[in-house]
C-alpha cells in the first residue's frame, strides 16, 4: 500500500494551539526562514545521552533538533543542562520528560507522588489534577516544557507487562476522567501534555518495546473504550498525542479496504490510523509524536531507511529518538528526495512543531531569557505541599482487596513476631524499590521482624516442621515490589529457585498478609492468600499509609481500579 499524501491545513487558531495573530506570524516567519536541513532537524526529538557541554554543542550544531529528552538526574544538574542547550538553540527546544508519577520522572530528587493506578484507586479527580500539577511544577522547575503523560491506555489485560500501574485502570470512564484532570493540572503548570499510546495499549499481553503489539478490539469495542478516552482528552485540549508501535487491525481494514495482513502497520506507520482515525474521526489538530523509534515494535515493522521518512509521511510530526542520528537524518533526506516524504508534508509537520512551541510561549520566553527558571525554582522539588498531597493520595488509594481470615487490624501485642518476605524484580531502584522502610516502621511500632534470607537457606530451613514455624512466628508478611518496566515479558513473582522456599505454603498454619507495592495482580500467583492489599506505589508516603492501615489507625479507602482477582474464582476465597 502506498502512503496517502496528506493535504491537511493546520488550524493554528483552533485548539490545542489557540494562537494569536502575533504567534501565528512567528510560526510562519520562522518556517519561511528555514532551509530544508533545518526543517528536517526540527522533526527529531533526541535522547539526551550525555550532559557533556562539548558533545552537546557538536550535536545541536549538526542536527538543530526540535526537542530533546533527558533521563532523570539531580534536579540542579538537569536544570543546568537544559539551560545550556536552550542557549545554544536558535529556535527554542521542546524539552520532554516522562512525568507520569511525579517530578521524579526528570529529577531524582523530585517528588515521587504515586503511580497513576494509585491515584485511580482514590477515585478522586482532584487527586489526578494534583498529580499533574506536581509533576508539571517540578518538571517546569528544571526546564521541561513537555510531558510524555498522561498514559491513557486501559489496563484490560492483567498479563500486560507494561501498562499496569502506569494506567488509570480498566474502566474507560475512570481513565478519561482521571486523564482530563491530570491534563488540567499539567497544563496549569505551563507544560504541554502528550497522551499515550495511540491507538491504545493494554489489550495485548506483550510489550511494544519487544515486538509490534496488537490492539485486537473490533471497531465497535474500540470506540466504546479507547475511542471514548481519546475523544474526551482531545476535546479537553490535549496538546499532543504519542503514537505507539501498536497495530489496530480492525480499524486499519475498515479505513483502508484491501489491506493485506502484511500491509497492516503499527500506528506510527499507518496513515489510515493517523489521518483517517486520529485526525479525521477524532478531530485531533495538535502535534503527533512517535513513541521511541529504538523499540522493536517500530524496527521490526519496516526497513529503517523506509520507516524513518514514512513515519512523518504517514502523519507523525516528530520522530522520537534514534538508532544513529546521522544515519536517520540521511534517511529523512533520502525519503524527501525519493518522494516518500513530500515538502508539503514536511512543512505541515514543522508548522505543528513551531505552533506547539508558540502555544507554550517559548518564542517569547526565549526573548526574555526565561526558557529555563533560575536555580531558586528547585525549591519546588519535594516541597511540603507536594509531599502532603502525595501522603493524601496514598491514604486514599491503598486498597484492601480481601481479608477472608478477618485478621486486620494487627497489633504488636497479638502479632509481635513477624517473618517478612521481600519480593522484588530489581527494577527501578531510584523509585524506592527497597521495602526496608516497612520493616523499620514496624520495628518502631513494637514488632519483632525477622527477614527471610535466601542466602542462609539450608536443608534444615527448607524442611522445617510446621509446629516449629508456629512456635517462632505470630504473623507472616509479604511485601512485594515487582515493578513494571520496559523490555520485560512478564510481571510475575519469581520464587526462590531452591525448592521455592519463599512460596506461602503455610497460609493454613500462620496468619499471612500479602502487600503489593506495585503490580496489583499477584493473586494470580498467590490466589489463596487470605489477606491481600494493593498499594500501587513504593514510596515513603505509601509505606507510611500501609502501616497505619495495618494497625487500624486509618481505614482502607481505596476502590479497586482493576480486577485484582484476575478473573479467578478461587482468588476470592
CA distance 545 to 479: 14
List the CATH number of the domain containing 545.
3.40.50.1700
Residue 547 in domain: yes
pLDDT tens digits, residue range 544-565?
999 999 999 999 999 999 999 9
Please confirm whether the linkage preceding 16 is cis (ω < 30° from 0): yes
Instruction: Name the H helices within 170-295.
Output: 172-188, 219-224, 226-235, 249-255, 271
Q: Note whether 536 and 517 are within 8 A (CB).
A: yes
pLDDT over 60 at 116, yes or no: yes
Residue 12 in domain: no
CA distance 348 to 312: 10
Q: Identify whether residues 169 and 267 lie together within a single domain.
A: yes
Q: Identify whether residues 50 and 176 lie together within a single domain.
A: yes
DSSP class of residue 528?
T
Q: What is the pLDDT of residue 454?
A: 77
Residue 389 in domain: no
DSSP class of residue 410?
P
pLDDT over 80 at 1, yes or no: no
CA distance 138 to 491: 30
Express as a percent the part of the chain with pLDDT over 90: 92
Q: What is the pLDDT of residue 216?
A: 98
What mean pLDDT is predicted for residues 500-506?
93
Q: Identify whether residues 291 and 200 lie together within a single domain.
A: yes
pLDDT tens digits, residue range 315-374?
999 999 999 999 999 999 999 999 999 999 999 999 999 999 999 999 999 999 999 999
pLDDT tens digits, residue range 71-85?
999 999 999 999 999
Which pTM does this prediction carry? 0.96
Q: Identify whether residues 414 and 371 lie together within a single domain.
A: no
Q: Identify whether residues 363 and 413 lie together within a single domain.
A: no
Q: Identify whether residues 309 and 435 lie together within a single domain.
A: no
Q: What is the pLDDT of residue 6?
A: 41
Q: Could you tell me the pLDDT band of residue 2, with boundaries at 50, 70 and 90?
A: very low
Q: Could you tell me the pLDDT band of residue 7, with boundaries at 50, 70 and 90?
A: very low
Range of the domain at 437: 398-572
Q: What is the pLDDT of residue 164?
A: 97
Please confirm whether the linkage preceding 150 is cis (ω < 30° from 0): yes
Q: Identify whether residues 263 and 308 lie together within a single domain.
A: yes
Q: Could you tell me the pLDDT band of residue 436, with boundaries at 50, 70 and 90?
A: confident
What mean pLDDT is predicted for residues 506-529?
97
Helix (H, G, I), strand (E, B) or coil at 182: helix
pLDDT tens digits, residue range 367-401?
999 999 999 999 999 999 999 999 999 999 999 99
Q: Identify whether residues 357 and 482 lie together within a single domain.
A: no
The string of DSSP letters for 487-519 reads: T-S-------TTTTTTS-TTTTTS-EEEEESS-
What mean pLDDT is predicted for residues 266-286?
98
Of the candidate ranges 98-112, 452-466, 493-507, 508-522, the one whose mean pLDDT is the lowest: 452-466
Q: Identify whether residues 353 and 415 lie together within a single domain.
A: no
In the chain, how many domains are there? 2
Q: Note whether 354 and 366 are within 8 A (CB).
A: no
Residue 5 in domain: no
The string of DSSP letters for 339-376 reads: TSS-HHHHHHHHHHHHHHHHHTTHHHHHHHT-SS--GG
pLDDT tens digits, residue range 199-225?
999 999 999 999 999 999 999 999 999
Residue corresponding to grid cell 487500624: 552
pLDDT over 90 at 136, yes or no: yes
Q: Identify whether residues 341 and 434 lie together within a single domain.
A: no
CA distance 87 to 406: 62
pLDDT over 90 at 229, yes or no: yes
Express as a percent the part of the chain with pLDDT over 70: 96
Catalytic residue numbers read: 291
Residue 136 in domain: yes
Residue 10 in domain: no
Residue at which a domain ends, from 313, 345, 380:
380
Straight-line distance from the first to the last Cα atom of the chain, in angstroms, rounded to the nearest whole number: 53
Whole-number average pLDDT of the chain:
95
pLDDT tens digits, residue range 278-307?
999 999 999 999 999 999 999 999 999 999
Q: Identify whether residues 351 and 436 lie together within a single domain.
A: no
pLDDT tens digits, residue range 237-264?
999 999 999 999 999 999 999 999 999 9
List the CATH number of the domain containing 95.
3.20.20.300
pLDDT over 70 at 3, yes or no: no
Q: Please report which helix (H) or strand (E) contains residue 97, including its range.
A: strand 94-97
Residue at which a domain ends, from 380, 406, 432:
380
State the sign of the Cα–Cα–Cα–Cα dihedral 258, 264, 269, 274: positive
Residue 16 in domain: no
pLDDT over 70 at 8, yes or no: no
Q: What is the pLDDT of residue 434?
A: 65
Residue 14 in domain: no
Task: Give the pairing type, strands 319-320 and 512-516.
Answer: unpaired
Q: Identify whether residues 309 and 178 lie together within a single domain.
A: yes
Q: What is the pLDDT of residue 426?
A: 62
Q: Please report which helix (H) or strand (E) contains residue 287, including its range.
A: strand 287-290
Amino acid at each position: 500500500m502506498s502512503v496517502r499524501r496528506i493535504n491537511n491545513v493546520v488550524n493554528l487558531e483552533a485548539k490545542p494551539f489557540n494562537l494569536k495573530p502575533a504567534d501565528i506570524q512567528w510560526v510562519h516567519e520562522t518556517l519561511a526562514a528555514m532551509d530544508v536541513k533545518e526543517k528536517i532537524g526540527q522533526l527529531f526529538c533526541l535522547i539526551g545521552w550525555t550532559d557533556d557541554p562539548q558533545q552537546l554543542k557538536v550535536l545541536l550544531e549538526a542536527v538543530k533538533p526540535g526537542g530533546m529528552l533527558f533521563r532523570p538526574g539531580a534536579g540542579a544538574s538537569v536544570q543546568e543542562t537544559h539551560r545550556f542547550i536552550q542557549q545554544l538553540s536558535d529556535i527554542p527546544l521542546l524539552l520532554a520528560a516522562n512525568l507520569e508519577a511525579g517530578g521524579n520522572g526528570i529529577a531524582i530528587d523530585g517528588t515521587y507522588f504515586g503511580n497513576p493506578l494509585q491515584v485511580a484507586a482514590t477515585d478522586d479527580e482532584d487527586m489526578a489534577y494534583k498529580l499533574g500539577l506536581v509533576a508539571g511544577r517540578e518538571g517546569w522547575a528544571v526546564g521541561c516544557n513537555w510531558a510524555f503523560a498522561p498514559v491513557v491506555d486501559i489496563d484490560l489485560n492483567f498479563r500486560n507487562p507494561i501498562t499496569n500501574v502506569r494506567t488509570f485502570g480498566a474502566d474507560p470512564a475512570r481513565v478519561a476522567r482521571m486523564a482530563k484532570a491530570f491534563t488540567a493540572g499539567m497544563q496549569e503548570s505551563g507544560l504541554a501534555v502528550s497522551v499515550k499510546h495511540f491507538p491504545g495499549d493494554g489489550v495485548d499481553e506483550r510489550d511494544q518495546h519487544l515486538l509490534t503489539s496488537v490492539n485486537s478490539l473490533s471497531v465497535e469495542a474500540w470506540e466504546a473504550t479507547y475511542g471514548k478516552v481519546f475523544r474526551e482528552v482531545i476535546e479537553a485540549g490535549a496538546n499532543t498525542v504519542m503514537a505507539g508501535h501498536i497495530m489496530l487491525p480492525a480499524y486499519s481494514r475498515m479505513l483502508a479496504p484491501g489491506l493485506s495482513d502484511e500491509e497492516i502497520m503499527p500506528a506510527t506507520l499507518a496513515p489510515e490510523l493517523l489521518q483517517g482515525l486520529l485526525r479525521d474521526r477524532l478531530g485531533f489538530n495538535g502535534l503527533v509524536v512517535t513513541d521511541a523509534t529504538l523499540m522493536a515494535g517500530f524496527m521490526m515493522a519496516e526497513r529503517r531507511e523506509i520507516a524513518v521518512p514514512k513515519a512523518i509521511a504517514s502523519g507523525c510530526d516528530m520522530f522520537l529518538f534514534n538508532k544513529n542520528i546521522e544515519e536517520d537524518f540521511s534517511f529523512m533526506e533520502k525519503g524527501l528526495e525519493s518522494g516518500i516524504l513530500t515538502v508539503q508534508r514536511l512543512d505541515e509537520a514543522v508548522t505543528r512543531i513551531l505552533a506547539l512551541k508558540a502555544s507554550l510561549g517559548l518564542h517569547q520566553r526565549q526573548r526574555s531569557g526565561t526558557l529555563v527558571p533560575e536555580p531558586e525554582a528547585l525549591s519546588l522539588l519535594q516541597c511540603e505541599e507536594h509531599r502532603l498531597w502525595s501522603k493524601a493520595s496514598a491514604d486514599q488509594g491503598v486498597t484492601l482487596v480481601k481479608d477472608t481470615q478477618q485478621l486486620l487490624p494487627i497489633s504488636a501485642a497479638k502479632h509481635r513476631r513477624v517473618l517478612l518476605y521481600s519480593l522484588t524484580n530489581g527494577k527501578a531502584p531510584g523509585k524506592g524499590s527497597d521495602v526496608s522502610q516497612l520493616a523499620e516502621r514496624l520495628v518502631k511500632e513494637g514488632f519483632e521482624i525477622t527477614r527471610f534470607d535466601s542466602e542462609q537457606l539450608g536443608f534444615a530451613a527448607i524442611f522445617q516442621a510446621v509446629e516449629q514455624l508456629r512456635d517462632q512466628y505470630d504473623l507472616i508478611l509479604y511485601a512485594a515490589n515487582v515493578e513494571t518496566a520496559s523490555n520485560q515479558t512478564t510481571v510475575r513473582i519469581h520464587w526462590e529457585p531452591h525448592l521455592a522456599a519463599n512460596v506461602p505454603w503455610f497460609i493454613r498454619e500462620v496468619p499471612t498478609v500479602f502487600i503489593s507495592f506495585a503490580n496489583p495482580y499477584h493473586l494470580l500467583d498467590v490466589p489463596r492468600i487470605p489477606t491481600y492489599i494493593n498499594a500501587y506505589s513504593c514510596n515513603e508516603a505509601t509505606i507510611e499509609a500501609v502501616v497505619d492501615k495495618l494497625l487500624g489507625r486509618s481505614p482502607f479507602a481505596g476502590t479497586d481500579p482493576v480486577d485484582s482477582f484476575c478473573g479467578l474464582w478461587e482468588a476470592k476465597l
